[in-house]
Structure formats: structure tokens, C-alpha cells
């Protein structure tokens, strides 16, 4: 067995990494959004620390823009890896290039699972969402991969 496969097998055995196809059952629907943080935004969600976050009116990406997802460990922490459609990746690139130093929020079912400051433009079609439990990451990945409709 190769060293990479051995490490992956050990991570699966320890419960830190989900084997392919082993995600939690997909919910009936879910809403995933990526939005800019706007001081004057009318929509408000709560971040993981319980703070109110004002959101930009238009999303950068929504559930239908997410084409694939998987869960793994990055730097010892659970991460949800999401692939954006080409159009959403273009919007993400444009938004992050124009808003370096400002906030961006990853929202699942109206809860901000991660709010972070844009340090550099996002140039790839994949994004990493941290600050999420393994169970929640597995549930969201299952929903994205099942191509569930938004809950609205």
C-alpha cells in the first residue's frame, strides 16, 4: 500500500476523514450561499461566535453553483472542499479581487459557518470552508453531490 493510501486509511479508521461515498444521508434540501459582508446589508445572519453579520444583497454563489464537494482534513481540521461552476468561479474571482481586506461569509441553511477576511483574490474554482463540524460537512457535501434544491 502506498504511503498516501495508508495515511488516508488511517484517517478514515480514526474517523477524521470520510471515505468516498460514505457521507451522511443527504437532507431533502439545503441552501448554501457565499456572500460578501456589507456594513449596510439588510440581511443579517449569526456567525459561529454569535456575532451579527450583515450580508451583501447579491450572492456570489448559491446552491445551484456548487458542482461537487468532499470532506477532508486540512492542517488537522475538518474542511469542506467545494467546486464552483465556471460562472460562479468567475464571480468569486471578480469579487475577491475587488474586495481584498473585506469580509466574505459561507452560509449553510441561513447560518454563517465561516466568516473570513479576503486576503488574496480566489483564482481557482475550488474553495475550502473550515470552521464546520465533520457531521455538518458530511451533510452539506452529501446535499451538494446529490444536487439538492435550495430550501426556499
Residue 125: all three cell numbers together: 474554482
Of the candidates 137, 136, 127, 111, the one whose C-alpha atom is nearest the C-alpha of residue 55 is: 111
Mean pLDDT, residues 19-39 taken together: 72
Whole-prediction pTM value?
Answer: 0.76
Q: Which CATH architecture has domain 31-145?
A: 2-Layer Sandwich (3.30)
Cell 450572492 belongs to residue: 59
Does the pLDDT value for residue 137 go beyond 50? yes
pLDDT digits (tens, 9 = 90+) for 90-125: 999 999 999 999 999 999 888 898 999 999 999 999
Q: How confident is the model at residue 25 (pLDDT cuts 50, 70, 90)?
A: low
H-state helical runs in the chain: 3-13, 86-98, 134-145
* Rounded average pLDDT over 16-31: 56
Tens of pLDDT, residue by residue over 52-85, are 999 999 999 998 999 999 999 988 999 999 999 9
Amino acid at each position: 500500500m502506498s504511503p498516501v493510501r495508508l495515511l488516508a486509511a488511517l484517517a478514515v479508521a480514526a474517523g477524521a476523514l470520510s471515505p468516498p461515498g460514505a457521507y451522511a444521508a443527504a437532507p431533502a434540501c439545503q441552501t448554501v450561499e457565499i456572500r460578501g459582508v456589507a456594513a449596510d446589508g439588510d440581511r443579517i445572519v449569526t456567525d459561529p461566535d454569535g456575532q451579527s453579520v450583515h450580508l451583501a444583497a447579491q450572492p456570489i454563489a448559491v446552491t445551484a453553483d456548487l458542482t461537487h464537494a468532499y470532506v477532508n482534513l486540512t492542517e488537522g481540521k475538518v474542511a469542506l472542499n467545494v467546486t464552483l461552476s465556471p460562472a460562479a468561479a468567475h464571480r468569486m474571482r471578480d469579487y475577491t479581487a475587488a474586495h481584498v481586506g473585506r469580509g466574505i461569509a459561507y452560509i449553510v441553511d441561513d447560518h454563517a459557518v465561516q466568516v473570513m477576511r479576503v486576503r488574496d483574490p480566489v483564482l481557482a474554482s475550488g474553495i475550502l470552508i473550515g470552521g464546520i463540524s465533520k457531521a455538518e460537512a458530511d451533510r452539506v457535501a452529501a446535499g451538494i453531490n446529490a444536487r439538492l434544491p435550495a430550501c426556499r
